[in-house]
Amino acid sequence: DVKVTQSSRYLVKRTGEKVFLECVQDMDHENMFWYRQDPGLGLRLIYFSYDVKMKEKGDIPEGYSVSREKKERFSLILESASTNQTSMYLCASSLGQGVGETQYFGPGTRLLVL
Amino acid sequence: QQQVKQSPQSLIVQKGGISIINCAYENTAFDYFPWYQQFPGKGPALLIAIRPDVSEKKEGRFTISFNKSAKQFSLHIMDSQPGDSATYFCAASRPNQAGTALIFGKGTTLSVSS
């Protein structure tokens, strides 16, 4: 079974802090994704990566950056956390570049910025 | 053009009834339409998916109906059960983009009453 793990289930940070969210997948997937999930807004894509050291902006990249130094690990970085970044963050991965690749999601990290 | 519109936002169905969730899109270049199911405290998981060259796909009690000319697709859950209570997201695959990123609808919270 594909397993996507996220470093924390719950996180509380202060405004202005630098925040790192870590995601690891164990199935040698090429693609990894970061979404945020907010009530009534669904899942919105922040960034994704289709290869090591490669990244593409999603729909809401402002205030975020990412790092993918190893194939299995994709980090989301909040350079200076703000209260409007309080949200559920979901990481996902998929195998390759074909159409119809299933995305496998981690359990999510609920971030509260005070 | 890059949106997927999902309705209703919430749905209450009696046990044994039919649950229907609808989605609409504008971009005719979308080439893959999955539905994801999310239980509380978990990440979304692929439920069923369809390509635009097929009008219907059935897997057990779950059916996707696809209307290419109307640019609409829907999820039907037959004989709905309390265990189907979850949030459902429709999605569409972004064409010509590395990493096969998805665009998600805003979600439908389904409650099946016993």
Q: Where are the domains of chain B?
A: 4-113
Which pLDDT tens digit goes with each residue over B27-53?
888 889 999 999 999 999 999 999 989
Report how many domains make up chain A.
1
Q: What string of H, E and C letters represents the secondary structure of A35-90?
A: EEEECCCEEEEEEEEEECCEEEECCCCCCEEEEEEECCEEEEEECCCCHHHCEEEE
Q: What is the pLDDT along chain A (114 residues), one digit of tens a residue?
A: 779 999 999 999 999 999 999 999 999 999 999 999 999 899 999 999 988 988 999 989 999 999 999 999 999 999 999 999 999 999 999 987 777 788 999 999 999 999
Q: Domain containing A15: what range?
A: 4-97
Write out chain B's pLDDT in tens, 114 residues: 578 999 999 999 999 999 999 999 998 888 899 999 999 999 999 999 999 899 999 999 999 999 999 999 999 999 999 999 999 999 998 765 655 678 999 999 999 998
Per the CB < 8 A criterion, the answer to whether B77 and B18 are in contact is yes
Helix or strand or coil: residue B55? coil
Q: Under an 8 A CB cutoff, do A98 and B105 touch?
A: no
Nearest to B93 among A43, A99, A108 (CB): A99
Answer whether A4 sits within 8 Å of B41, measured CB to CB: no
d(CA B108, CA A76): 27
CATH pick for B4-113 out of 2.60.40.10, 2.40.280.10, 1.10.1740.10, 3.40.50.720: 2.60.40.10
A-chain CB neighbours of B102 within 8 Å are 45, 103
- B49-to-A14, A28, A110, B40, B46 alpha-carbon distances in Å: 40, 23, 28, 22, 8
Residue A36 domain flag? yes
Q: Do B104 and A105 touch (CB under 8 A)?
A: no
Residue A106 placed within a domain: no
Provide the token pair at B111. 């409650």
Residue A103 belongs to some domain of the structure: no
Position B69 scores a pLDDT of 94
CATH of the domain at A83: 2.60.40.10
Distance from CA of B79 to the nearest CA of A (A): 26
| Nearest of B50, B51, B114, B65 to residue B85 by alpha carbon | B114
Domain assignment present for residue A18? The answer is yes
Is residue A102 domain-resident?
no
